[in-house]
Amino acid sequence: MKKLLKFLVVAAVAAALCWHYQWAFRDLANSRSMSVEDQLYHALMEERETILLLGYELSDSQLADAWNHVMYTNADLFFVADQFEYTVINDRVLTVSPRYAVSGSQLSAAREIYEAAIADILSGVQDDWSQLETALYLHDYLCMHYAYDETLSRYSAYELLTEGTGVCQAYTVVYTALLQACGIECSYVVSEEMNHTWNIVYLDGVPYNVDITYDDPTGARLGRAKHANFLKSDAAFDNTHNYTAAEGMGQCTDTSYDSAVWDNATSAFVPLGDDFYFIEHGTIHRWDGETVTEVFTIYATWFTDRGDGTYWQGNHSTLWAVDGGLLYNTNNRIMFLDPAIGVARVSCGYYGDGDIYGFTYNGDSITLQVGTDPNEAGEYLTVTSFTLY
């Protein structure tokens, strides 16, 4: 039976070579000069039905590793399905037959949407930022604008960018694409034990763990970004990540950022002018890349629904940068702050039930997250009438 199967495989490959002869000789030549990952990437981008891998002498597991690497490091392959078929002879892979979730004119339109979304995010990156500042901005941007997909059905970069939600794989591939576009080396980790993936980011060649999914957990308040999993060493991940057999781990030994300025921030780091601003312990701070300065203290109380004057501890403000200043929320108002003069004015108010626990700003509207408990999603209300002083 084994020999018969091999004979059938050879016949199938021979037929494929005849049918796809225009690719076959090029594929064989590429195997001498191009890595298998590059070969797969270029063939998938061409939407090839059959990819010849005869010259690479790959085992099944090596093919799986190469395939995973290509899919995790190339977000623009969002149109490739997660299943494929392949043929073997003498335990070596001869051909791969991918499946495509989107093709033809639909793919052309989807590519335009994808590229526009990536370009829009990158438009906020400033040329004079350091690699660290760029990595922080993009990390916080994804946390602020997207949410974890609790249906566990959105895996691709395209789905995250267009639907607004995605699982860990979607966060990982989008962050990789953004950093690569900025010239920052980025890879990934896959933990089978956790059924989870996250990024390895190389700052000036030094690798660090970044887990955006954990910094943007389910139930997070609108516009919020956490930083407990940003630029951490393997040692810092010991208590939160199971990676004994995870692909890509065991390389992040530098502990420079295991204790960092962003650790206790309860908001994103938002850029304004030459500096970044963030909220910590109810106070807005300025960070110039080295020094932290207190700018403005937020006085607000978030009451429970008991009606007895009890309130939730801590500050529950979100921070956004706008033209000429910052927006933040109290329990019942959106405030505009000019950090240069330290004066805050009311941008819009909320007079319904519950309090404001988060918000997003997109230029034309503000979406409020209101409720009676910071640990619950509450409801979303859109405001189109507000003032930016």
Task: Provide the residue ranges of all domains of the chain, joining segments of one domain with +.
Answer: 2-100, 104-237, 270-383
CATH number of 270-383: 2.40.128
What is the arithmetic mean of pLDDT over 79-96?
Answer: 95
Positive or negative CA dihedral for 354, 355, 359, 365?
Answer: positive
Give the residue carrying structure tokens 């001869």. 94
Q: Is 369 left (phi over 0), alpha (psi -120 to 50) or beta?
A: beta
Report which of 327, 338, 342 is spatially closest to residue 386, judged by C-alpha positions.
Answer: 327
Are the folds of 104-237 and 270-383 the same? no
Average confidence score pLDDT of the chain: 90
Residue 11 has pLDDT above 80, yes or no: no
Q: What is the reported pLDDT for 1?
A: 37
Which strands form 206-210's sheet, in the order they lie side by side? Answer: 186-191, 196-203, 206-210, 230-232
**Helix or strand or coil: residue 333?**
strand
Report which of 57, 66, 58, 55 is spatially closest to residue 28, judged by C-alpha positions.
Answer: 55
Q: Indicate the pLDDT class of residue 3, thresholds 50, 70 and 90.
A: very low
- For 213-253, write each residue's pLDDT tens digit: 999 977 668 899 999 999 999 999 988 987 765 556 668 99
104-237 placed in CATH 3.40.50.300: no
CA 299 to mean position of chain CA atoms: 33
Q: What is the reported pLDDT for 31?
A: 57
Q: What is the reported pLDDT for 19?
A: 46
Q: What is the reported pLDDT for 284?
A: 98
CATH of 2-100, one of 3.40.462, 3.30.1370, 3.40.50, 3.90.380: 3.30.1370
Residues 6+ apart with CB under 8 A from 345: 335, 336, 387, 389
Residue type, 320: W
Cα–Cα distance for residue pair 74/41, rounded to 1 Å: 8
Q: What is the reported pLDDT for 116?
A: 98
**Cβ–Cβ < 8 Å for 354, 336:** no
Q: What is the reported pLDDT for 8?
A: 37
Q: What is the pTM of this model?
A: 0.90
Main-chain phi, psi angles of 103, to 5 degrees: -155, 175
**Cβ–Cβ < 8 Å for 337, 344:** yes
Q: What is the reported pLDDT for 318?
A: 96
Report which of 288, 325, 269, 320 is spatially closest to residue 138, judged by C-alpha positions.
Answer: 269
DSSP 266: S
Cα-based distances in Å from 271 to 112, 127, 289, 359: 28, 13, 11, 17
DSSP 220: P
